[in-house]
Amino acid sequence: MKTVYNCLEFIQSQKIQLFVKEALSKADPHFWLAPCSGTGKYDPPENQAEGGIIVHIIKGAQIIISLCRFFDITDQSVKDKLFAAFILHDIWKFGRPWGKSTHPEHGLIAAEFLTDLAAVDSDKKIIVDPDLADIIEMVKNHMGRWSKPDSTPALKTGKMLREKMIWHLIIQMADFWSTRKWCSFTIEEFSE
């Protein structure tokens, strides 16, 4: 059976892999067993079973592979950040502490958690690593127009999409599509 750790194989940067592993090691135990949402209103059955968040992450990683092909993203450092952001985007989906339903600001909560891990100065929350800052920003805004307190920066500009805006859209689309009832497949079907 595929696990979220299989998704780490797509990340070549040791620095980013270590950051993701550290974050996952500090995840609430419920993260590993929880369904993808509290209601299941949009999710297919496998996302609502035990471990549904993990299934959602694995499916989203598959979507990211396809979207990178679609957008012709070949830069491995960009792919590393996209996979890291998606692996971590729902790490505090039900809030912190872990609650009984999806927290409307779980992107912000996860970003604050990741900022604490990445900060070189915990008092000032200073992040000097631009790769980690990119990952945290994508996690914070992963819900697109439903992100609280802010929505998609990429869609607010009214200008042509820039590279980072596409990264945000990839994370948001993978998150959205992998929760649709029509996006149903078994984990064994996962491939590059």
Q: What is the gyration radius of the CA atoms in the chain, in angstroms? A: 15
pLDDT of residue 59: 87
Is pLDDT of 188 > 80? no
- 143 and 172 Cβ atoms separated by less than 8 Å: yes
Rounded Cα distance, 146 and 150, in Å: 8
pLDDT of 45 strictly over 90 = no
pTM score: 0.81
Instruction: Note the pLDDT of residue 37.
Output: 78
Residues 11-31 pLDDT 10s: 999 999 999 999 999 999 999
Q: Would you give the distance in Å from CA 104 to the centre of its chain?
A: 15
Is the pLDDT assigned to residue 152 strictly greater than 90? no
